[in-house]
Amino acid sequence: MLVDLIVHGAARLVTCASSGGPKRGAAMREVGSLAGGALAVKDGRIVAVGETSEVLAQYEAAEMVDASGRAVCPGFVDAHTHLVYAGERLDEFEMRIQGKSYQEIMLAGGGILNTVRQTRGASPDQLINQSAARLATMLELGTTTAEVKTGYGLDTASELKMLLVIEKLARQQSVELIPTFLGAHSVPPEYRGRTGEYARLVIEEMLPAVADWYARSDFAAQAKPCFIDVFCEEGVFDADLTRQILQAGKGCGLALKAHVDEFVAMGGTTVGIDLGAISLDHLDHTPPTEMAHLAASPTVAVIIPAVNFNLGSPEFAGARAMVDSGVAVALATDLNPGSAPCPSLPLVMAIACRYQGLLPAETLNAITINAAHAIAMGDKIGSLEVGKQADFIILEVADYRHLAYQFGVNLVQQVFKRGRRVV
Ligand SMILES: [Zn+2]
């Protein structure tokens, strides 16, 4: 049978294949590694995965890629980013080095609100140009799909501007994007002290506009989800407002996510599980009873150790215990200008192995198949299986564990999106 592309002779073809949902427990240690593996691609989809001799006996292709001496892995999925923003936060970086806490900086009008000011003032083209450069870097580092949040607009027009920027970025470059409306990221300065009123604005004015945009967007046309997310945190949105906002989003047909338990446990994990959230993210301070509920739920835990690393914190989310207790764990960068100016999922793997006791295999599953499930795309991407999109990367090395073992180096040599070489 004639196909478009065959990758053959891989030292290791790492599939991260999972039957059904995200991987849990002992399955996290299995990456589905095939010595001498090959992959056949037609019309952007994988039509065969197997040993090279088997695949070459059944298929021929115009484009042959010799992967001998190298590992082939699924393209990485970054399930949590704030990559659309204007301006940098270098002064804040220095304040933190000198001992100011994240929350002290936030209360002083810095932090997220600093980026809100600059993002509101930026034109769509400025946002697109700055964000496209970040996406190009992510692609070179192996990321083929990324979730992208709004949340630096915090008024209806600026939030819609960010969604339109995400839609345009999705059209013009190779990283596949999944949008998230995060109007409830922070309370804007004009609503200071009136969090409840701002939540009403999110629910009554922003949400209908977002639902209307989504219905007419490329994402809906391509049967891709749009998420709603809330920063459930002390001084931001409490569990009750989080529930109201997520419930309203669900009513508008959006899928649910939430930032929970990053600094203080607020009950957001229970709210998210109750409402059927696809993912709950951060989980640094989640109490054991809520963690047990999470393990028994279909919700994916998105763990973000680049933030703890960036804040110079000695404390990290208990990812080891989460995996051992059966929570479906994914890892993400949280790419943003304040708490994680980091586009690299391999660096996140390296941090998770060192500070959270995860094995390289667990971290690879966490940035591929489990991350795909964290954005409701697990049936299309995240593993090398027949029928899925041909999103894969070829490393410079034969063993994928180098991704976590080495750091500060890019081991991704080639990147393919839907069977097309894009790096
Ligand atoms: Zn975030």
> Angle between the 156-172 and 112-121 helix axes, to the nearest 10 degrees?
80
Determine the distance separating the centroid of ligand 1 and the alpha carbon of 81, expressed in angstroms.
6
Determine the distance separating the centroid of ligand 1 and the alpha carbon of 69, expressed in angstroms.
37
> Angle between the 156-172 and 124-140 helix axes, to the nearest 10 degrees?
50
Q: Beta-carbon neighbour count of residue 246 at 10 Å?
A: 27
Determine the distance separating the centroid of ligand 1 and the alpha carbon of 409, expressed in angstroms.
25
Determine the distance separating the centroid of ligand 1 and the alpha carbon of 182, expressed in angstroms.
9
Determine the distance separating the centroid of ligand 1 and the alpha carbon of 99, expressed in angstroms.
22
Determine the distance separating the centroid of ligand 1 and the alpha carbon of 113, expressed in angstroms.
14
Determine the distance separating the centroid of ligand 1 and the alpha carbon of 24, expressed in angstroms.
23
User: CA-CA distance, 283 to 356, in Å (whole number)?
Assistant: 13
Determine the distance separating the centroid of ligand 1 and the alpha carbon of 54, expressed in angstroms.
44
366 and 76 Cβ atoms separated by less than 8 Å: no
Determine the distance separating the centroid of ligand 1 and the alpha carbon of 178, expressed in angstroms.
14
- Amino acid, single-letter form, for residue 121: G
Tell me the mean pLDDT per 10 residues along the chain, length 423.
97 94 97 97 98 97 97 98 94 87 76 92 98 98 98 98 98 98 96 97 98 98 98 96 98 98 95 98 96 98 97 94 98 96 98 98 98 98 98 98 97 98 96
- Residues listed for the chain: 423
Q: Tell me, letter by letter, the H, E, C secondary structure of 353-391.
A: HHHHCCCHHHHHHHHCHHHHHHCCCCCCCCCCCCCCECC
331 and 363 Cβ atoms separated by less than 8 Å: yes
Determine the distance separating the centroid of ligand 1 and the alpha carbon of 333, expressed in angstroms.
9
**Residue 5 β-bridge partners:** 41, 63
The DSSP secondary-structure symbol of 237 reads B
Q: Cα 331–336–340 angle (5° rounding)?
A: 60
Determine the distance separating the centroid of ligand 1 and the alpha carbon of 231, expressed in angstroms.
8
Rg, Å, the chain Cα set: 21
Give residues with Cβ within 8 angstroms of 227, minimum separation 6.
147, 178, 179, 180, 181, 254, 255, 256, 257, 278, 375
- Per-residue pLDDT reduced to its tens digit, 351-362: 999 999 999 999
The DSSP secondary-structure symbol of 75 reads P
Determine the distance separating the centroid of ligand 1 and the alpha carbon of 3, expressed in angstroms.
40
Determine the distance separating the centroid of ligand 1 and the alpha carbon of 149, expressed in angstroms.
8
- In the prediction, which pLDDT does 58 show? 97
Determine the distance separating the centroid of ligand 1 and the alpha carbon of 66, expressed in angstroms.
39
Determine the distance separating the centroid of ligand 1 and the alpha carbon of 115, expressed in angstroms.
13
109 and 380 Cβ atoms separated by less than 8 Å: no
The token duo for 6 is: 């065959």
The DSSP secondary-structure symbol of 28 reads G
For 300, the 3-state DSSP assignment is strand
Determine the distance separating the centroid of ligand 1 and the alpha carbon of 272, expressed in angstroms.
16
What burial letters (b/e) apply to 88-115, b meaning 16+ CB within 10 Å?
ebeebeebbeeeeebeebbeeebbbbbb
**Nearest partner of 230 among 192, 195, 183, judged by Cα:** 183
Q: How many CA atoms lie within 13 A of 231 on its CB side?
A: 20
DSSP β-ladder status, 176-184 and 143-149? parallel
How many helices (H) and strands (E) the chain has is answered by 18, 16
Q: Beta-carbon neighbour count of residue 279 at 10 Å?
A: 28
Host H or E run for residue 255: strand 255-260
Determine the distance separating the centroid of ligand 1 and the alpha carbon of 13, expressed in angstroms.
32
Determine the distance separating the centroid of ligand 1 and the alpha carbon of 82, expressed in angstroms.
6
- In the prediction, which pLDDT does 109 show? 67
Host H or E run for residue 257: strand 255-260
219 and 226 Cβ atoms separated by less than 8 Å: yes
User: CA-CA distance, 64 to 354, in Å (whole number)?
Assistant: 38
Q: What is the torsional sign of CA 93, 95, 101, 102? A: negative
Beta-carbon neighbours within 5 Å of ion ligand 1: 334
In the chain, what are the domains? 2-74+382-421 (2.30.40.10), 76-374 (3.20.20.140)
The token duo for 259 is: 């930032």
Q: Which residue has the tokens 């931001």?
A: 236
Determine the distance separating the centroid of ligand 1 and the alpha carbon of 228, expressed in angstroms.
12
Residue 71: Cβ-neighbour burial (10 angstroms; 0-12, 13-18, 19+): buried
